């Protein structure tokens, strides 16, 4: 029996634990949907610390009752909302992050106040650019 491919990335949870953590999941569409907590996700490319990464995000995140920012530019303008899963890319494939990738991304994480479901809390935001 073939071993299932897994994907390791940085998960920004802005609706549950309000944390950024290393996460390994099976490399399957339904697993990405469950992790991001969405019906429809998108994969976008953003530069973090001078290097491009693929970011799996909620394609309908702005339709939530109270969307929580999770990616912003260096001036604080919101780029993405909702939970994110940051990985590398190679061609059309998503690839796991390396230890160096994790270290680079963590240098560009900030914490901000967010209002979610009527409560104010600290939430992770990654600083990135197009």
pLDDT digits (tens, 9 = 90+) for 19-70: 999 999 999 999 999 999 999 999 999 999 999 999 999 999 999 888 899 9
Q: Parse the chain into domains and list their residue ranges.
A: 6-127
Distances in whole angstroms, Cα of residue 79 to Cα of each of 8, 44, 100, 112: 23, 11, 24, 14
Query: How large is the greatest C-alpha to C-alpha distance in the chain, in angstroms?
Result: 50
Report pLDDT digits (tens) over 81-130: 999 999 998 888 999 999 999 999 999 999 988 776 667 878 999 999 99
Identify the band that residue 4 occupies on the pLDDT scale cut at 50, 70 and 90: confident
Q: What is the pTM of this model?
A: 0.93
103 vs 94: CA distance, rounded Å: 19
């Amino acid at each position: 029996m073939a071993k299932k491919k897994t994907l390791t990335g940085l998960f920004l949870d802005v609706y549950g634990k309000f944390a950024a953590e290393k996460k390994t999941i099976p490399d399957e569409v339904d697993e990405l949907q469950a992790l991001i907590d969405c019906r429809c996700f998108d994969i976008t490319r953003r530069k973090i610390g001078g290097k491009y990464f693929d970011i799996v995000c909620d394609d309908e995140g702005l339709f939530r009752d109270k969307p929580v920012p999770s990616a912003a530019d260096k001036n604080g303008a919101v780029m993405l909302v909702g939970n994110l899963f940051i990985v590398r890319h190679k061609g059309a494939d998503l690839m796991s992050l390396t230890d160096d990738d994790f270290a680079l991304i963590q240098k560009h994480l900030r914490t901000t106040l967010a209002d979610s479901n009527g409560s104010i809390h600290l939430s992770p935001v990654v600083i990135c650019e197009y």
